[in-house]
Amino acid sequence: MEADQSQGVLDKLLAAAHHFYQGSTAMQAFAPWPDDLQPAGLLPQDIPATKIITDWQDDDSLHKAVQAACPYIHWSHGYTEAEVGRDFLDGFGYLELYGPYGLFHSAKERGFISFWRRGLDYPWHYHEAEELYAIISGTARFEAQGDTPDILRAGDTKFHQSNQQHAMQTPDDHVLAFILWRGNAITEFSRIVT
């Protein structure tokens, strides 16, 4: 596919994400949609989990846009095999949709779309940025220090305070989530609790 065509697919992904955002009062209250977006021209980077994403059927339009854009997305793991293990890395991945390192550059805001396959245990981790999870499709069990564990489904959201340790499990289903960060530390990365 020519570069301008692949950018067109990523533009559709961004538009679907914006539509999802506009349907979520929690996301809109958490952070504004960035007004400084520029295509970053990141080269596609595949991960093993894209095969699972491609095969996972769901009616949500953002879910479908992620599937359509899969081959053109720069996918990341963020964590090393030493931190989370090979099995976790084979079933997990995220794309930074917009932000300092995103498919679309923004110096102001940061948004990710992350996938975990069924049967994963996302270890306790933390980051200085405040965070809002919004479930696109599937379900997951969320834990956070000081909070009651909760099962989240499509449309549900979960807020994490700055440096609040949190973890997640996917015993029953895959999960796809749109995640926003805000605050002074959005350029940083998540750290596993050791």
Give least dist CB 111 to Fe ion, A.
13
Q: Which stretch binds Fe ion (CB under 5 A): 49-57, 73-81, 105-113, 126-134?
A: 126-134
Per CB under 5 A, the list member of 96, 109, 130, 131 interacting with Fe ion is 131
Q: Name the residue among 98, 103, 125, 83 with its Cα closest to residue 187.
A: 98
| 24/12 Cα distance (integer angstroms) | 19
Nearer to Fe ion, 67 or 114 (CB): 114
The reply on whether position 130 binds Fe ion by CB under 5 A is no
Residue pair 142/158 in contact (Cβ under 8 Å)? The answer is: yes
Nearer to Fe ion, 10 or 175 (CB): 175
Mark the segment that binds Fe ion (CB under 5 A) among 28-36, 39-47, 55-63, 130-138: 130-138
Of 109 and 131, the one with the shorter C-beta distance to Fe ion is 131
Q: Are 69 and 61 in contact (CB under 8 A)?
A: no
Pull the structure tokens for residue 118.
């069924």
Q: How far apart are CA 111 and CA 134, in angstroms?
A: 11
The residues that touch Fe ion, with contacts defined as CB under 5 A, are 131
